[in-house]
Amino acid sequence: MELTIAQKLEALLKLQTIDSQLDEIKKIRGDLPEEVRDLEDDIAGFETRIGKFNNDIQALEEEIERNKNVKKDAEKLIGRYKDQQMNVRNNREYDAISKEIELQTLEIELADKKINEAAFKIRNKQEEIKATQGALDERKADLKAKMQELDQITGESQEEEKELMGKRDSQADHIEERLLKSYNKIRDNAINGLAVVMVKRGACGGCFNVVPPQRQADIRDKKKIIVCEHCGRIFADVEGVPEPAPTGRR
């Protein structure tokens, strides 16, 4: 069954009243939910960073281990070459083995250099972990405090909010989709969350611009949905009794 304009406006106004109550609850919570979300994001970011540093350290420790093995092998070879040098038959053989020893000595030096570099990097990463851990602990403490605060505020209004949400859903069901869409759009763009307003003392209840008497009369008639020409809000009705029309004119 198609609703009359008056019924549609009444339904919209009811929805607006519920939404305004919900807005009020959200206002009390203020920026807390967003602050909690930001802190949670920060914490996740720091934890990822620490995880990455730990992975880096592990890779560096493996590199150190690898280079220690390289050193061990080179030292073994040098020992063997030195034994061989005792039994050479000529200078040429002696020089050839000396070259091999020199090569393995260089291998050891290079491995030492790599070990030192990796150890240096590990110390840096550990410093970074310490700093990040400090920031992480701070954020965690912040988050705990904010969550408690939010829980307390939410706890107080949770029941009421749940009830209002239920009411909102069933009220929205009474309103045709196209109208609901424009209602939501107007509400999204309005700072005060008002999409449906009354004309109060001759002015729009949303933007306070004057509504001319003839337009007020049209709004009262409810033959069509009339929106404020300044802010686009839907007029539900005009508050108070109509002023008597000036006599002797029109």
Cross-strand pairs, 198: 237
Rounded Cα gap, residues 114 and 123, in angstroms: 14
Cβ 206 to Zn ion shortest distance, Å: 4
230 sits near Zn ion (criterion: CB under 5 A):
yes
Inter-residue contact 173 to 80 (CB < 8 Å): no
Considering only the stretches 31-39, 48-56, 127-135, 225-233, report the one whose residues sit in contact with Zn ion under the rule CB under 5 A. Answer: 225-233
Q: In what order do the strands lie in the sheet with 234-238?
A: 203-204, 196-200, 234-238
| Residue nearer to Zn ion on the CB measure, 136 or 211 | 211
Applying CB under 5 A, among 18, 70, 101, 231 the residue interacting with Zn ion is: 231
Interior/surface letters 163-180, b for 16+ CB within 10 angstroms, e for the rest: ebeebbeebbeebeeebb
| Residue nearer to Zn ion on the CB measure, 74 or 195 | 195
204 sits near Zn ion (criterion: CB under 5 A):
yes
227 sits near Zn ion (criterion: CB under 5 A):
no
Rounded Cα gap, residues 5 and 12, in angstroms: 10
Inter-residue contact 223 to 243 (CB < 8 Å): no
Rounded Cα gap, residues 228 and 236, in angstroms: 11
Cβ 200 to Zn ion shortest distance, Å: 11
- Helices assigned H by DSSP within 87-193: 91-173, 177-189
Q: Build a one-symbol-per-residue string for 156-195: x at contacts with Zn ion by CB under 5 A, - elsewhere.
A: ----------------------------------------
Query: What does the block give as tokens for 209?
Result: 């611009």
Considering only the stretches 9-17, 145-153, 220-228, 235-243, report the one whose residues sit in contact with Zn ion under the rule CB under 5 A. Answer: 220-228
| Residue nearer to Zn ion on the CB measure, 48 or 192 | 192
Rounded Cα gap, residues 170 and 33, in angstroms: 26
206 sits near Zn ion (criterion: CB under 5 A):
yes
Inter-residue contact 199 to 219 (CB < 8 Å): yes
228 sits near Zn ion (criterion: CB under 5 A):
yes
Considering only the stretches 65-73, 83-91, 207-215, 217-225, report the one whose residues sit in contact with Zn ion under the rule CB under 5 A. Answer: 207-215
Cβ 214 to Zn ion shortest distance, Å: 16
207 sits near Zn ion (criterion: CB under 5 A):
yes
- By rule CB under 5 A, what count of residues binds Zn ion? 6
The binding site for Zn ion (CB under 5 A) comprises: 204, 206-207, 228, 230-231
